[in-house]
Every structure is written in C-alpha cells, then in structure tokens.
Structure 1
Amino acid sequence: MGKESEYSLRRTRVEIAGFVFLTFLGYLIIGLSLAVLPVFIHQTLGYNTIVAGGVISLQYVMTFLVRGYSGSIVDRKGPKPAVLQGMGTFALSGLLLALASMFTGNGFICLVLIAITRLVTGFAEGMIGASPVNWAMLKVGEKHTATAISFNGIASYGALAIGAPLGVVLQKWIGLSGLGGLIVLISAVGFVISMRKTAIKGDRKSQRHSFLKVLQKVSPYGICLALGGIGFGTISTFITLYFEYLHWENGALSLTVFGVVFILCRVFFSGMIDKYGGLWVSTISLAFEAAGLLILWLAKDPVWAMAGAGVTGLGFSLVFPALGVEAVKLASPSNKGSALAGYALFIDVSLGVTGPLIGAVASQFGMLNIFLFSMLLVFSGLIICYSIQMRTRVPEAA
C-alpha cells in the first residue's frame, strides 16, 4: 500500500509538472527581455534611468489590471482559454519587440513600441500567472493545492533566473529582433502544448461571487503575503547597491544564494503545508524571513550578508503557497480561479511598491537601515498571520 501511495504521489507530481511547465515557458519569455530592455532604453536609445524604469514597470501595472479578468475566465470557461490567450499574447509581444528593433534610429518611436510591448507582456503574464496552476489543481484535486502552488513558484522563479542572463547573452549574438523571434517560437511551443491538453472546467453549479467580493475574502492572507514580499523585493532590488555602498564584492552572489535556498526549500519542505496547515507554516516562514533580514542588517562582512540572504530565501519560500492554500479554501468551487488571481494581486502590489518605498527609506534614513525597515514590515506580517491563526483556532476548538 505504501508503494502504491508513493507511486500515486509521484504520478501526481509529474502531472502537476506537465501543467506548470506552461508557467515556466511564460516566465522564461518574461525573463528574456527583463535584463535587456532597461540597458537598451538607457544606453542605446539615450533615455534616463527614470524613463527606463517607468517603461519596464508598465508590465506590472498591466498584470495587476488583468488579474481579475484572468480569474473570471478560469472560473467561467476553464484555465485552457486563459493559457491560450496568454501564449498568443506573448507571441504578439515578440513580434512587437522585433518591430521595435527596426526603429533604433528613431528613439521616440522605438520607445513607444517597447512601451506597448511591455503592456502586451503584462497582459500575457496576467493570463498565464495563475491559469496553469489552476489547471493542475482541477486535474489532481484540491488536496494537492500546496504542491501545485509550490511547483508553480519553482517554475516561475526558475524561469526568470534562467531567462534574464540568457537574454543578455543572446541579445549580443542575435540582437533585439532575434530575441523577439525566439519569444514568438517559445510562445508557439506553449500554445501547441496547451492545445494538446484536455480542457477542464471547475464546478460551476455552486454560487459565483464577484471578483471584488472574492478579493475581500482573501485579503487578510494577501496582506500577510504583501508584507512578506517586501523582504524579497528589498533583496532583489537593493542587495547589489547595498554591497557597493559597503565596498563589498559579489553582491549578485547573494541573489544566487537566496534563489537556490528558495527553490530547495520549495522542493523539500512544501509537504509541511499539508501536514501542519498553511497558517502554521506561513507564521514560521515569516519568522525565518524576518530573522534573515535582521542578519543582513547586522552583517559586518559579505559572508554574513549572504547567510542572511539565504535565511530570508528559506523563510519567504513557503509564504506564497502556505497562505495561498488557506486563501483558496475560502472560495467556492466556482470561484477558485478568482481567489488565486486575487491573492496573487497582493504580491504584484508588494513588489511594485518596494522599489520606491525602500528607495525613500534609503534616502531619508540611510542605506544601512533598509533591511531593518523591511524586517519590521515582515514582522508585522508575522503578527497579522499569527492573529489569524489564533482566531481560526477558536471556532475549531469550540
């Protein structure tokens, strides 16, 4: 019986991986241009860093706006149409990127086309972000929600980690137009794979609620996620600047340490969510994340700073899936897609405000205090998460 159960679990994981591979392809596309375009806008087109940053941020604004629409599509028609729309729109972004490369001599037209490309990419990300994982959840059952969300996170973060440096290397060899062509090719592969998969729809017999009502339900868990995301956002945005400020070397290696520990924790410890519950795991995870940021703030040498980044990655790794499991439980079967999309909105907001917020802290209170500030926000998320856990225990005990 044990062997049968083990085989069943392994088969379930393989099925989940087959769906979240579509997430991997989507975020690989996003990663290919992520590190290339800011440099291209600043150095090749000659615009300042504010313009470059603003154009890049258009993607996240569009993703934020599309999340609700994506969740509605998943709930009404199933995840397959949303994934197909996402892959088709990614292909369009590749064509626009290739077109933009033809107007390098006219900086304004090129910039406008790149801005449109970012908006189109943001739409595609909004459609692909929570759709494959919903597809996987419908296929393998709600009891495997934690595994599905964990695998989806590994796929997205892993794809970005591969895509960003790969895009920089490829752009030197094939140029921006070649990168656009590669994006079209990867999108076509994702589209074909999606077409070959069986369409699945959720339970539409149960009562459906508006996206705003679902968003209100999941918001306590989303707020905890957003506060936890500040720690990740601070490291990903400011760790290299922090190392330069202290005249330390290998600041980028801290990101690698964070990413490696993050993925390993997802691989080996995601089962704890099913065993101990999402609220307990997220409370412990936020405690580890806060401890990692504290180590970073107190670090007197780069080795300790990297250790702090690793502990932060260990802590943040399970926050999204652990809280996500609890958030999805609150929704009716016909609102699961909207619940996951609404919950994911909070990490979009978190990562969107981290840059200006922590930048303001650095200018007002000094670069040395950015990780202390982040730690306090993560700790406040821990307090909220613990209070939710205590409130839910009372009815259970009764």
Structure 2
Amino acid sequence: MLKLDAATRSILAVVLFTLLCYVEIGLQMVVVSLFVKEQLGFSLVWAGFAVSVQYLATFGSRGWAGNRIDLVGPKTVVLWGLVIGVLSGLVLVAAQMAQGLPMVAFALVLAARVTLGISESMVATAALVWNIRRVGTPHTAQVISWNGVCSYGGIALGAPVAMTIYQNTPSVPGGLSAVGLCCAGLMALGLPWAAMQPAVSPLEEGKRLPFLSVLGKVAPYGVVLAGGSIGFGAISALYALYFADRSWQGAATGLSAFGVIFVMTRFVLTGQIARHGGLRVAMFSLLAEACGLSVIAIGHTPLLADMGAALTGAGFALLFPALGVSAVARTGPESRGAAIGAFSVFLDIAIGLSGPVLGMIVPVGGYMGVYLTAAVFSVLGAGLCLAMISRDA
C-alpha cells in the first residue's frame, strides 16, 4: 500500500478542488469550439475566442481573487468559486436550449466561459494558498507541483469524456447541454467536502503589498511563463478545430496525451528544479515545448500531431513550478495570494489572447503557421531564461 506523509495527505485534501475545476475546464474545452463553429455557424476566430475568453476572464479576476484570499481566507474563496463553477455549467445548458437563436446562444456560451474563468481564478489560486498555509512555505514547490498535476490531469480526464458525451447525446437535450449538466454536478460535489475542511486565518490587512507592486516583483518570471503558455493556448483553443479541418479523428486523444505526459513529467522530474535551479529547468522545458509544437506543425498524420501534443505537455509541465517558486519568494507571506495571482496573470493573458490572435493566422499561414508561431514564442522564452541566468551568474 502506498504510504503518504502528513504534508502530502493535507495537500491532497485541498488540491481536489483544483482537480474538479480543471475537469470542468477539460469538459468544456473541446466541445465549446465545435458547438460555436459547427452548430451556431460562427467563424474560426469566434470559435477560438469562445475558448480563450475563459482565460481573459481569469486574467481579469486574478488580482481581485488574490486580494480576497488574503482578506477573507482561501476556504471562503474556494467555496464561492465552486458555486460559480456550477453556474457556468447551467449557463451552457441554456446555450444549447437557445441554439435556434445563434446570437443568443453564442452570448450564453461566452457568459458560461466568463463565469468558468472567474471560478478558475478563485478555486485554483485559493487552493494553492490554502495548501501553502496548511503545510508551510518549505513545501511550496510540492504544493505547486500537485496543483499542476490536478490541473492538467483534470483537462486530460475531462476532454475525452466531453467528446464521448457530445458525440453520443441525442439532439434533445443535446451534447452541449449534457456536458453542461455534467460540469454543474461535478462542481456541486466539491461543496460539502470544502465545507468540511479546516480553514486558515486571513492575514492582517496592513501588511499586504498593493497588487501592482506585487505584479512588478514577479514580472520577469511571468514574461517567461507567458512565452511558454502561448503553446498551450494554441492547443486548447485550436487543436480540435485543426483536426476537424483535416477530417481527422483523435483530437481528444491529443489533449489527453498532453495532460497525461504533463502529469507524469511533474511526478518524475519536479526534483530537478531544486537540483539545477528554476531558470535552467524552465529554459530546457521551453525548448522541449518548441520541439513538440513544431511536430504538430509539420506532422501530416493524427499520430504525429498527438505525439507533438504529448511532447508539448512534457515541456510545459515544469514551467509553472520552476518559475513560480522564485516568483512567489519575491514577496512576503502576507501577500502570497496576490503573488500567485499576479504570476498567474501572465499565463492568463497569453492563453486568453492566443486563441483569437493565432486563429487569425489560419487563413494566411494555415495551422502550420499557428503552431510554428507558438514554437517561436517558446524559443524566445528560453532566450529570456538564458539572459536571466547570465545576469545572476
């Protein structure tokens, strides 16, 4: 039997809420773009925007969520985030019901995505801070790693389940409606468990740094994170449409491969961050991600594309903890929630903009242009890491 130490058991009790949140994200990720393009008849750019708007909403609410965590405590923020996640699923049901009015249905899809983005900023950020305060700052890397395992493991689990539901549900109630009900039920399951967990006290207001000050402290690491996050944005927003455009099967398989390899890399290689330093690990991670994105770009079969997605997941896996430990350490414990929120803002911006912006490349350079562009940003991020390593030497 696998034996877990006390810190790991404590972490797992709370990181479950991150898992629930990202399973919902995985459930919506694949089917929303297909619904908007194929059933509502909107363009590729709008389909990509419907996916990416979630991350723009997360970006817009990160600072507020981080300050609320430091003010009222992370448990309260997690509970409200779960409630908002339930609402997101129910609004998707309404969007399916309004399918006969495409503009109304599209507006409801956007509303569902925005509420999910707010839910993500609350649940994921608060669960991180809740765990750090429960087990102590020496376990920060372990907390961030488990949070990432549940984040992308949740996406890997949710994506194929959503495709199965979407493709095999009768027109009434409809595939999107069935996925929405699944999302709402899943987040509702977390509410009683969250209520049972012991809270940690909010910190004194007078000691907290202004959010913009915190943002400035973590910005060098956040810019590098943004460079690597564009690749994930390209996969999350456009991968299913890429496969549909080529009449390929297996888009959900690629998303799952991304998530599974991401989780395995986190489990096996997280210790390399302490051994070699966060910036060095981030640099090599970004180069691996660039290789994976290039394989997606030049691969001419579904298998090669899925292999490229898996390699991208391996490269992206250590980026957040490798950079995040150093970024969070630049602030005091009284601003921990704001620091995590500020650092995550760079990921949100990159992913949120990548869907619609990269979607504009498709008519000009095709999907090859999309993924090669994302690969270039990963290489630029690796170059920034090298410059920061040289500066600190």
- Cα separation, partners in 2 of 1:333 and 1:289, compared to 1, 3 Å: same
The answer to whether residue 14 in structure 2 is matched with residue 14 in structure 1 is: no
Of 134, 146, 162, the residue aligned with 2:157 is 162
1:281 alignment partner in structure 2? 281
1:113 alignment partner in structure 2? 108
Please list the CA deviations of residues 168-200 of structure 1 after superposition, one character each: whole Å capped at 9, or x if unmatched: 433516645554444333222211111111111
Moved more, 55-64 or 202-211: 202-211
Q: CA deviation at 1:294?
A: 4.8
Q: Which has the larger radius of gyration?
A: 1
- Cα separation, partners in 2 of 1:246 and 1:311, compared to 1, 3 Å: same
Contact 1:95 / 1:181 at 8 angstroms: preserved in 2? yes
Contact 1:62 / 1:119 at 8 angstroms: preserved in 2? yes
1:324 alignment partner in structure 2? 324
Could you tell me how far apart the structure 1 residues matched to 2:346 and 2:127 are? Answer: 19
Could you tell me how far apart the structure 2 residues matched to 1:269 and 1:251 are? Answer: 27
2:382 alignment partner in structure 1? 382
Query: Counterpart amino acid of 2:84?
Result: T
- Cα separation, partners in 2 of 1:146 and 1:169, compared to 1, 3 Å: same
1:123 alignment partner in structure 2? 118
Could you tell me how far apart the structure 2 residues matched to 1:329 and 1:30 are? Answer: 29
Q: CA deviation at 1:137?
A: 1.1
Please list the CA deviations of residues 18-60 of structure 1 after superposition, one character each: whole Å capped at 9, or x if unmatched: 1111011112223333333333344444545544444444322
- How high is the sequence identity, in percent, across the aligned residues? 36
Query: Counterpart amino acid of 2:112?
Result: T
- Cα separation, partners in 2 of 1:109 and 1:14, compared to 1, 3 Å: same
1:71 alignment partner in structure 2? 66
- Cα separation, partners in 2 of 1:42 and 1:321, compared to 1, 3 Å: same
Secondary structure class of the residue paired with 1:130? helix
The answer to whether residue 84 in structure 2 is matched with residue 89 in structure 1 is: yes
The answer to whether residue 386 in structure 2 is matched with residue 391 in structure 1 is: no
- Cα separation, partners in 2 of 1:251 and 1:40, compared to 1, 3 Å: closer
Of 101, 119, 144, the residue aligned with 1:149 is 144
Moved more, 236-245 or 309-318: 236-245
Please list the CA deviations of residues 92-124 of structure 1 after superposition, one character each: whole Å capped at 9, or x if unmatched: 233333444444444444443333333222221
Q: CA deviation at 1:161?
A: 2.2
1:231 alignment partner in structure 2? 231
Could you tell me how far apart the structure 2 residues matched to 1:252 and 1:177 are? Answer: 19
Q: CA deviation at 1:76?
A: 1.7
Moved more, 253-262 or 265-274: 253-262
- Cα separation, partners in 2 of 1:247 and 1:110, compared to 1, 3 Å: closer
1:311 alignment partner in structure 2? 311
Could you tell me how far apart the structure 2 residues matched to 1:29 and 1:307 are? Answer: 24
Q: What runs of 5+ residues in structure 2 fail to find an aligned partner?
A: none
1:62 alignment partner in structure 2? 57
Moved more, 206-215 or 370-379: 370-379
- Cα separation, partners in 2 of 1:19 and 1:159, compared to 1, 3 Å: same
Contact 1:206 / 1:333 at 8 angstroms: preserved in 2? no
- Cα separation, partners in 2 of 1:20 and 1:333, compared to 1, 3 Å: same
Count of paired positions: 387
Could you tell me how far apart the structure 2 residues matched to 1:304 and 1:109 are? Answer: 38
Contact 2:52 / 2:237 at 8 angstroms: preserved in 1? no
- Cα separation, partners in 2 of 1:35 and 1:76, compared to 1, 3 Å: same
Contact 2:286 / 2:319 at 8 angstroms: preserved in 1? yes
Moved more, 152-161 or 270-279: 270-279
Contact 1:89 / 1:124 at 8 angstroms: preserved in 2? yes
- Cα separation, partners in 2 of 1:363 and 1:50, compared to 1, 3 Å: closer
Q: CA deviation at 1:70?
A: 0.4
Moved more, 314-323 or 110-119: 110-119
Please list the CA deviations of residues 121-143 of structure 1 after superposition, one character each: whole Å capped at 9, or x if unmatched: 22212211211111111111111
Please list the CA deviations of residues 302-326 of structure 1 after superposition, one character each: whole Å capped at 9, or x if unmatched: 7665554443322221011110111
Could you tell me how far apart the structure 1 residues matched to 2:71 and 2:213 are? Answer: 16
Q: CA deviation at 1:385?
A: 1.4
- CA RMSD in angstroms comes to 3.2
Contact 1:147 / 1:271 at 8 angstroms: preserved in 2? no
1:29 alignment partner in structure 2? 24
Contact 2:145 / 2:270 at 8 angstroms: preserved in 1? yes
Please list the CA deviations of residues 220-243 of structure 1 after superposition, one character each: whole Å capped at 9, or x if unmatched: 101000111123333445556667
- Cα separation, partners in 2 of 1:100 and 1:204, compared to 1, 3 Å: same
Which structure has more relative contact order (CA 8 Å, sep 6+)? It is 2
Query: Counterpart amino acid of 1:162?
Result: L
Could you tell me how far apart the structure 2 residues matched to 1:37 and 1:294 are? Answer: 26
Q: CA deviation at 1:267?
A: 1.2
The answer to whether residue 274 in structure 2 is matched with residue 260 in structure 1 is: no
Moved more, 25-34 or 50-59: 50-59
Q: What runs of 5+ residues in structure 1 fail to find an aligned partner?
A: 1-5, 394-398
